[in-house]
Chain A
């Protein structure tokens, strides 16, 4: 199983590098920026939309976007295995995936036509 763990070594290196970079960027920012606290800076959305209470610090209106994002994000799960095998699946696979994506897009068109994407 040592081969197994060796493969994870690269993951560990990546995590280390990420932590280092994260710390360096934030640390550099802290050293360079001026520090003038104002109460407005501590509200969730500085742009001005007020979070509606009870749900923690999130605006209910973002829910539709989150939902649409998750739907399309998760559908990608089916596209990855297809993309890997695209050559062997050929034209048949291409048409199959086209049908899948068209039906999905129809969902987005539906949301759009029903005015879900408009900021209310």
Chain B
């Protein structure tokens, strides 16, 4: 019996897997330290090719009894993850190459995590979602502790590990109850089950499952690991965690709510509402008093996560796909802004040798190019037009107005107040960059920036400016994602 398998459908996954094996072998049998990095970069770009051919083909392909589906939604997000992964590689080349800890495993672990992300965009079943989520997180536990003789990096890794595993266990307990009630692990069947009358236990199961996801996307009150892990981990890894790994969690959450729990609105809407409101408010208030730029960005990414949760929380009252589109568009734009911001932090830290915000004083006078791009990323995160961030906020508020219920409007007001608070700390950093005198004894000149880092910053700046001025580009991607293939 030869089961019919559509190899074209998961060609991106196959290319990436072969790349991982190739990187591992290259690291073992050559002394050329650049080779694994080159293969990794080539493999990530190579995986984009089948994504494009699948997009041109445009057919929805369902494999393994509906557990793995390739549709426009999964293609848009697979493309996003691969590009984000490539940019992370650009950030890492010199950071990892120059450190004392150069090892080819770094690329293997990064690519394995990336593999989990592109699987999760297509996963439509509790088992495949769980396996993909763990494929994302387990390599990142190791990556967070990459500087193995640095006790801070150890601590980052330990906290991330404990919270990650605990959240998996809680999520799995919820999923096991969902399976017991719906008698299926496929989301389509769970959707059918949730459409009928469900017992109270189903609400408990949904609650536990969502709590697990809340840990993964570091939503308040399950966020406390994030700032510590972000600070202790190597900065390129932090960029990867805050963008790709977090987006992976959101994609899984979106899929499981949209295709699984959706009809049973009472069981998931209140939870997401509370998570969204708490994440925005506490994330922003904590970000206000940070003196370390990485910690500030950590809290800012918690707050941004809250903004992404807003359309999800009101999705039950929004007609059509507007809410889902808002989530996808926000994820795409957030990815570009945050990767850019971390690239700028890495670039600035090469000059100042510190992550303290005070050390950035007067940076704009000595390194205007980096400072301009840094300011672009920060203003975009704050949501100021004509940078891409405003469009992300715009689609989020549009989803709130489409829902037009009291709870949705209250959430919208909370989001609006938070946008104002966020502006303060983002602009505070920009003010330091341009208007403060450089602190005494800070040596700001140093050798040129590595090509990869400059390329990553340039690319992200371009994306933010283009999307900010011409938002139809990402809006169209959002529409395509939810078209019937």
B24 touches A90 (CB 8 A): no
A109 in contact with B21 (CB, 8 Å): no
Shortest CB distance A107–B (Å): 8
Please give, as numbers and ranges, the residues of chain A lying within 8 Å of B406 by CB-CB distance.
none
Nearest residue, chain B, Cβ from A91? B2
List residues of A (59-105) whose CB comes within 8 Å of B's CBs: 88-92, 103
Q: Which residues of B contact A109 (CB under 8 A)?
A: 28
Q: How far is the CB of A87 from chain B (nearest CB, A)?
A: 9
Which chain A residues lie closer than 8 Å to B24 at the CB level?
106, 110
Within 8 Å of chain A (Cβ to Cβ): is B196?
Answer: no
Q: Does B25 make an interface contact (CB < 8 A)?
A: yes
CB distance from A67 to the nearest CB of B (A): 13
B440 within 8 A of A: no
Tell whether A92 pairs with B2 under 8 Å between CB atoms, given A103-B21, A106-B21. yes
Decide if A113 is an interface residue (CB 8 Å cutoff). Answer: yes
Nearest residue, chain A, Cβ from B103: A114
Q: Count the A-B residue pairs with Cβ separation under 8 angstroms: how many?
A: 16
What is the interface of chain A mostly: helix, strand, loop, or mixed? Answer: helix
B3 within 8 A of A: yes
| Residue B200 lies at the interface, judged by CB distance under 8 Å to chain A | no
Specify which chain A residues have a CB less than 8 angstroms from the CB of B25 in the assembled complex: 106
Contact A88 B1, CB 8 Å, known A103-B21, A106-B21:
yes
What class of interface size applies to chain A in its complex with B?
Answer: 10 to 19
Name the residue on A nearest B1 (C-beta).
A88
Task: Decide if B1 touches A113 in the complex (CB within 8 Å).
Answer: no
Q: How far is the CA of A110 from the CA of B1 in the complex (A)?
A: 35
**Complex: how many Å from CA A54 to CA B270?**
47
Using Cβ atoms and an 8 Å threshold, which residues of chain B touch A110?
Answer: 24, 28
A71 CB to closest chain B CB (Å) equals 12
CB-based contact A90/B28 at 8 Å: no
| Bound Cα distance from A113 to B24, whole angstroms | 11
Residue of B nearest to A113 (CB): B28
Nearest-neighbour CB distance to chain B for A30, whole angstroms, equals 44
Chain A residues near B28 (CB-CB < 8 A): 109-110, 113
State the CA gap A112–B35 with chains docked (Å): 21
The reply to whether B21 and A89 form a contact with Cβ atoms under 8 Å apart is no
Q: How far is the CA of A88 from the CA of B3 in the complex (A)?
A: 11
Contacts of A89 in B (CB 8 A): 1
Contacts of B2 in A (CB 8 A): 90-92
Given the interface pairs A110-B28, A113-B28, the reply to whether A90 lies near B21 with Cβ below 8 Å is no
Give A104 Cβ to nearest chain B Cβ, in Å: 11
Chain A residue nearest to B27 in the complex (CB) = A110
- In the complex, the answer to whether A92 meets B21 with C-beta atoms within 8 Å is no
Measured CA separation A103–B17 after assembly (Å): 10
User: In the assembly, what is the distance between CA of A109 and CA of B21, in Å?
Assistant: 12
Q: Inside 8 A of A103's CB, which chain B residues have their CB? A: 21
Interface contacts beyond A89-B1, A106-B25: sample of 8 additional A-B pairs, CB < 8 Å, sorted by A: A90-B1, A91-B2, A92-B1, A103-B21, A106-B21, A110-B24, A110-B28, A113-B28
Pairs across A and B, CB under 8 Å, 16 listed:
A88-B1, A89-B1, A90-B1, A90-B2, A91-B2, A92-B1, A92-B2, A92-B3, A103-B21, A106-B21, A106-B24, A106-B25, A109-B28, A110-B24, A110-B28, A113-B28
Q: Which B positions have Cβ atoms within 8 angstroms of A?
A: 1-3, 21, 24-25, 28
| Nearest 4 Cβ contacts at the A-B interface | A92-B2, A113-B28, A88-B1, A90-B1
